Chain A
Amino acid sequence: MSEPPAGPLKRTPLHALHQELGARLVPFAGYEMPVQYPTGILAEHAQTRTAAGLFDVSHMGQVRLTAKPGQNAAKALETLVPGDISGLQPGQQRYTQFTNETGGILDDLMVTSTGDHLLLVVNAACKDADLAHIRKHLSATCEIEPMFSRGLLALQGPKAAEALARLVPSVATMKFMTGAFVTIDGAQCYVTRSGYTGGDGYEISTPADKAEAIARKLLAQPEVKPIGLGARDSLRLEAGLCLYGHDIDTTTTPIEAVLLWSIGKERRTQGGFPGADVIRKQITEGAPRKRIGLLPEGKAIAREGAEIALGGKVIGKVTSGGFAPTLGRAVAMGYVDKAHSANGTKVDLLVRGKPVPAEIVPMPFVKHAYYRG
């Protein structure tokens, strides 16, 4: 992932609220974003795991696709992603990736069908490139509407449902990976039961001019506190979720990244997406390397870039690593040669030149707690 071009940082609709809440604002993907609030990352992480946290993710890219007359938007999008989009019922959501001709990942995204449209949420750092990519390939078949000024709020945690249902009772029974139009504070919003923490929660797409009022309403709920990008990263790492530009990028395929589950069963055999030849070959023959979880011994933290060695030979690299507050210990994920990727394999992580013993383990590190009804 390349650094965003220099220039003034963009602001989300919640910028003034972040300042009022005492956030530490840092440049992130071209935006000025809150990395933490005065309570700090550990407290924010615990808040999200035990109650509810509100994240501003308005920097992410929201795009609406609508089929042109006689066209099919789901079929059209399937020419760019390996996910089963045609199979999405209205109100269903799916995780997929934009792939390139070599099977690498241009970005990962969420796709929700409203019945009339497909709503895409893509990564902030990739959104301009994604939009250009979509326009290049789908302009003939779809109306493409970037909605980059809309608000996007993530409300996450075991008490997220209780808090949001106080404002919108219907969200209580929504299942994981479904979406619905709801009215909050008089504004039409689109809510999905999804997130990036491994826990229960929602993402709420709001009109730009209503984002702050809705955020304030949510923060007024006793379960809810504001959470910055620092805890967002430690939460997703515990959940074993990939961060684009780190754990997945144009050099990693969905198979290497162990994202086969996100590829539609029919699509595995029929292809029809960029890089299908490479990806289908890896499905049948195996990928040369694999994304794995790592538990380092002791307390040293192996971060992104640390080499993974076996018997003194480098077999891979850490792509994300940090302290997992829920576990009170360090965790990491990375890629290793497939031959050495079995769970239980003892390896060394090279941290500041010193080997730290670690074991390859299954992910997630912290059990997912999605609401499936």
Chain B
Amino acid sequence: MTVKYSNEHEWIRVEGDVGTVGISQYAQEQLGDVVFVEVPQAGRKVAKGESVAVVESVKAASDIYSPVSGEVTEGNAALADAPGDINAAPMGKGWIFKVKLANKADLDGLMDQAAYDAFVKSLS
């Protein structure tokens, strides 16, 4: 089970045909303290690159884009009461939504860990 990254700093971890999506450690550091998260409803059809969630930090609101096309199977309801989970564990309990992939080939255009690490390094 591998993790892939978008150049918008979302990660996706795929098990079977369902991917779990969140934001990277780098992204949460850039955003700062998260105070509100709007997660998508189950059943929503999303297109790759579409804005599907909003993460609000004290400073600003940031759109979260789906790294793949498909259908949302679950939004992380726990974030309503614990938005800081995104800061504490962005790749763990701070996940944002799960999506049933329409086309696994969408993953091919994403970065693997090494490529993403190099991408982040190029930004600093």
- Interface of chain A residues 278 through 323 with chain B (CB within 8 A): 299-301, 303, 322-323
Asked if A41 contacts B36 (CB within 8 A), the reply is no
Residues of A within 8 A of B60 (CB): 303
Query: In the bound complex, how far is the Cα of B36 from the Cα of A95, in angstroms?
Result: 35
B35 partner, pick from A43, A301, A303, A352, beta carbons under 8 A: A301
Nearest residue, chain A, Cβ from B80: A299
User: Size of chain B's interface in residues, with CB distance under 8 A?
Assistant: 14
Nearest residue, chain B, Cβ from A234: B58
A75 to chain B, nearest CB (A): 43
A41 partner, pick from B33, B38, B61, beta carbons under 8 A: B33
Interface residues on A, range: 10 to 19
Q: Is A230 an interface residue (CB 8 A)?
A: yes
Residues 6-40 of B, flagged 1 when their CB comes within 8 A of A and 0 if not, give 00000000000000000000000000110110100
- Interface of chain A residues 179 through 228 with chain B (CB within 8 A): none
Query: In the bound complex, how far is the Cα of B57 from the Cα of A45, in angstroms?
Result: 14
Residues of B within 8 A of A300 (CB): 36, 38
Residues of B within 8 A of A45 (CB): 58
Q: Is A245 an interface residue (CB 8 A)?
A: no
A313 to chain B, nearest CB (A): 25
Asked if A35 contacts B59 (CB within 8 A), the reply is yes
B59 partner, pick from A41, A299, A352, beta carbons under 8 A: A41
- Interface of chain A residues 316 through 365 with chain B (CB within 8 A): 322-323, 325, 330, 352
Rank and list the top 9 A-B pairs by shortest CB-CB distance, nearest first.
Answer: A323-B35, A42-B33, A41-B58, A299-B36, A40-B33, A301-B56, A41-B33, A323-B58, A41-B32
Besides A303-B60, A322-B58, 5 new A-B residue pairs in contact (Cβ under 8 A), listed by A number:
A35-B59, A41-B57, A43-B33, A231-B58, A301-B35
Query: What are 26 A-B interface contacts by the 8 Å CB criterion?
Result: A35-B59, A36-B32, A40-B32, A40-B33, A40-B87, A41-B33, A41-B58, A42-B33, A42-B58, A45-B58, A230-B58, A234-B58, A299-B35, A299-B36, A300-B36, A300-B38, A301-B35, A301-B56, A303-B60, A322-B58, A323-B36, A323-B56, A323-B58, A325-B58, A352-B54, A352-B61
